[in-house]
Copies of this chain bind each other. A is one copy, B any other.
């Protein structure tokens, strides 16, 4: 679909200078993908860098036995550091990116990413800011995995979801949560029950509600 300058301005505000926005309308590729769409799979090659306009993308790492670990989420105006590096070095992806909502994004062709770095100061800033954020995200993931117990991590996961979707009710199964924390369904059920007794959540079928003061 053709990109329109006005609409881009709505999304980006004054993040990018006018000339760069103009460029983006020329070479950028607009995409709308439904929930559950795999933007990236381990081993896949990447030919363009996505910038998320709206929606939600889950980035995770999986190991050989099919276990999975949640790394972080990408939301509005986020971009993916892996794709940046992959693009620039023509390497394979090592992560999975799956949309959790209907998501709108722009794909920037690889070759522009480097060029724009020299031409547009705001682009350079954007790229570095992206790297920095992803780095922090990864360090945060490591903190959780390395230092926290499962019950804390589970509660934390729910809080993150809450922040991302800006709500306190999630329609997820225990199984799904188990995958994101690289553990088993039974363990999650057990811990959720525990959290429910402590008054942190309310459980129903296919539905979990965060209660209490999780204003984080």
Contacts and interface: CB of A to CB of B under 8 A. Distances in A.
Interface in A135-156: 135-136, 138-139, 141-143, 145-147
Contacts of A63: 143, 146-147
A206 interface: no
Contacts of A95: 139
A61 B143 contact: yes
Interface in A82-138: 82, 84-86, 88-89, 91, 94-95, 114, 117-118, 124, 128-129, 131-132, 134-136, 138
- Count of chain copies: 2
Nearest to A69: B146
A81 interface: yes
A89 B136 CA distance: 13
A67 interface: yes
A142 B142 contact: yes
A61 B141 CA distance: 11
Contact of A89 (B65, B82, B128, B141): B128
A129 B132 CA distance: 15
Contacts of A84: 128, 131
Contacts of A134: 135
A71 B142 contact: yes
A145 B85 CA distance: 23
Given A81-B135, A139-B95, A88 B182 contact: no
B182 A135 contact: no
A134 B135 CA distance: 9
A81 B136 CA distance: 11
Given A61-B139, A147-B69, A132 B89 contact: yes
16 contacts: A61-B142, A61-B143, A71-B142, A81-B131, A81-B135, A84-B131, A88-B128, A88-B132, A89-B129, A94-B136, A95-B139, A114-B124, A117-B117, A117-B118, A138-B142, A145-B145
